[in-house]
Amino acid sequence: MSRNNASLLRRFGRLRLLALITAALPLLALPVLGIVWLWQEGNMLYWLGALLLAGASGFALHSLARQREQRLPAQPATTANPHWPTAADSPWQQVDALASRVTIDDYPLSDGTRLWQLGRDTLAHVARCYHPEREQPLLEMTLPHALLIIERASRELRQLVTENIPLSHQLTLGDVTRAKRWKDAVERYETLYRLGHAVVDPAGALLREFRRQVSSRIFGYGSDKVQTWLLQEYVRKVGYYAIELYSGNLLLDENTHATATTDASRKALQQAAEQQARLEEEPLRILVLGRTNAGKSSLINALFGELKTAADVLPDTTTRLQAYRLEQQGFTEALIFDSPGFDSNLMRSSALREAASQADLILLVSPANVADRAGERAQLEQIRHWQKEQPKRRPPPLLLVLSHIDQLRPLKEWQPPYRLDEPDSPKAGSIRDATLAAAEELTIPVEDCVPVCLAVDRRYNVDDALWAAILVRQEDAQRARFLRCVSHHRSAENWRLLWQQIGNSGRLLKPVIDAALKKREH
């Protein structure tokens, strides 16, 4: 290396090098003269203040970059399928371990050949788990299935890239490749420049090196993290669908869903439908009550998991009792009734009494962010009074659904899930306090109170806590349904027998009346 430098120096000429240095002396002296001038003019403190301000701004930009990085999923977007058999646990652990080891240095995203090799290695890892006796287990995969794995993985990976990486829909692969080449070329010549600058101006070079390292960490860290995350998701996607294939869950026909009805089940369903037509069972009746805009319609939509009824900020959206058929796995077939707000003129007392007496389960919706629950308390007292008038009936179970918990203080905080037994945040504490206050004011057991958020983009605690509470009380609701049905059938039977008896008595009395009429005529 020293011989090359000496040869280069001889070719260039010592006089030419001396002339170049002499001509550049005024420029090279500027940083030193600038520092001396600042010291003489007494502006050195101002310059140091500006330096500190620039450093603080740099750290602020660094924090902003970290916040943008957090928009990426904190956990892997691709996880194991819970429906896989236990034999898939080991292959998935190997795929996850392989994804954790890959780096962009070994598999740059611009190198298609290396990425193809990485995908092939992932498939080989999975294939070896299922065919350990084969010398080339990867060849046990059919060509259509191999193409299907690539297709499915690429499609889902495209969606992840589009949703999480800024400007991914505008930057072309050519742009990335050209930027990388330009960066490599600049780095080659930049090293010579930095060494020469350090010899001439050590102080200025030190400051520039510090600024360069900080900026490279700020702007390079996020880029490396995004590329590494994308590379890991690529491995997990390919491994996921390879395990889907070997587990028997991957069908070539995309029009056939994995859980579509089988022929045997289709025949069984037809038989069940015929039997159901002969003897239909009474569905559970679930009544949803609450004040106007408490979230009753939103609760019904959340229970169904889809839009079933209008949910609007305008008052009195529901103008009458509306029934919806609810079918949920593990839950008895039910009819759920949406009702107008009891504080409106649309819900008459007689209509409410009829609905409450025919209910097997009552869901009382009350906003958690409203302190005054006098209306709910009066409504509950009235319902309990009506229930006491029916001693032969079992009162239906009642759940208090506290809505709008996202609007509790602090308003801007919303990072569920929240632990209410041991609150670890101000929001969790507010939710727990609101739940305890509502339970005490309405004399409802705390275990019968479920705080939820019903906003579509913030839905929380419905699919787990609320449904779990409903399922726990399903048996009590069925008992209430049994007695309700018995009461209904007994009343219908009484009226049927009464009319039958009247008709029969009329036929029996007809000869007597005819005889009496004839006797009077004579």
- Secondary structure (3-state) at 309: coil
pLDDT at 62 (0 to 100) = 62
Q: Is the peptide bond prior to 426 cis by the omega test (within 30 degrees of 0)?
A: no
Q: Which amino acid is at 513?
A: I
Q: Break the chain into its structural domains and give their ranges.
A: 2-42, 86-246, 281-481
Start-to-end CA distance of the chain, whole Å, equals 151
Regarding beta strands 334-338 and 398-403, do their DSSP bridges make them parallel or antiparallel, or are they unpaired? unpaired
Could you read off the pLDDT of 302-335 as tens digits, one per residue?
Answer: 988 765 554 544 444 555 788 888 877 767 788 8
Most confidently predicted of 206-220, 263-277, 375-389: 375-389
Residue 69 near residue 100 (C-beta atoms within 8 A) = no
What is the per-residue DSSP string for 58-93?
A: HHHHHHHHHHHHTTS-SS-S----TTS-GGGHHHHH
User: Beta partners for 436?
Assistant: none
Write down the pLDDT at residue 218: 37
Q: What is the DSSP string of 248-272?
A: T---S-TTS-TTPPPHHHHHHHHHH
pTM, full prediction: 0.46
Residue 381: predicted pLDDT: 94
Give the list of residues 6+ apart from residue 123 with CB closer than 8 angstroms, or none: 138, 141, 146, 149, 238, 239, 242
Using one digit for the tens of pLDDT, what is the confidence trace for 448-471? 999 999 998 899 999 989 999 999
Query: How far is 125 from 128, CA to CA, in rounded Å?
Result: 5
Secondary structure (DSSP) of 191-212: HHHHHHHHHH-HHHHHHHHHHH
Q: What span, in angstroms and rounded, lies between the C-alpha atoms of 323 and 339?
A: 9
The tally of CA atoms less than 13 A away on the side-chain side of residue 183 is 8
pLDDT band at 222 (very low <50, low <70, confident <90, very high): very low
Q: Are 377 and 313 in contact (CB under 8 A)?
A: no
Confidence of residue 277 (pLDDT cuts 50, 70, 90): very low
* CA pair distance 436, 444, nearest whole angstrom: 10
How do beta strands 322-326 and 334-338 pair?
antiparallel
> What mean pLDDT value characterizes the chain?
75
Structure tokens at 248: 């028997």
Half-sphere exposure of 379 toward its Cβ, with a 13 Å CA cutoff?
Answer: 25
Q: Are 319 and 346 in contact (CB under 8 A)?
A: yes
- The CATH architecture assigned to 281-481 reads 3-Layer(aba) Sandwich (3.40)
**Residue 166, pLDDT score:** 58
| Cα radius of gyration (the chain) | 38
Strands (E), 256-412: 284-290, 322-326, 334-338, 361-367, 398-403
Question: Taking residues 254-272, what's their average pLDDT?
Answer: 55
| pLDDT tens, residue by residue, 396-451 | 999 999 999 999 999 889 999 998 888 989 999 999 999 999 999 999 999 999 99
The pLDDT score that the predictor gives to residue 49 is 78
- Count H helices and E strands in the chain, helices first: 15, 6
Least confident of 23-32, 143-152, 183-192, 291-300: 183-192
Please give the Cα distance from 8 to 354 (Å, whole number): 103
The arrangement of strands across the sheet holding 449-451 comes to 322-326, 334-338, 284-290, 361-367, 398-403, 449-451
Task: Give residue 46's pLDDT.
Answer: 78
Q: How many residues does the chain have?
A: 522
For residues 226 and 16, the model is more confident at 226
| Structure tokens, 454 | 């019903």
Instruction: Please give the pLDDT value at position 128.
Output: 86
Instruction: Specify the pLDDT at position 373.
Output: 93
Structure tokens at 97: 């371990």
The 10s digit of each residue's pLDDT in 154-168 is 777 777 666 665 555
Give the whole-angstrom CA distance, residue 522 versus residue 517.
9
pLDDT at 421: 87
Quick: pLDDT tens for 44-94: 777 777 777 877 776 777 666 555 555 545 567 788 877 666 778 888 988
253 pLDDT more than 70: no
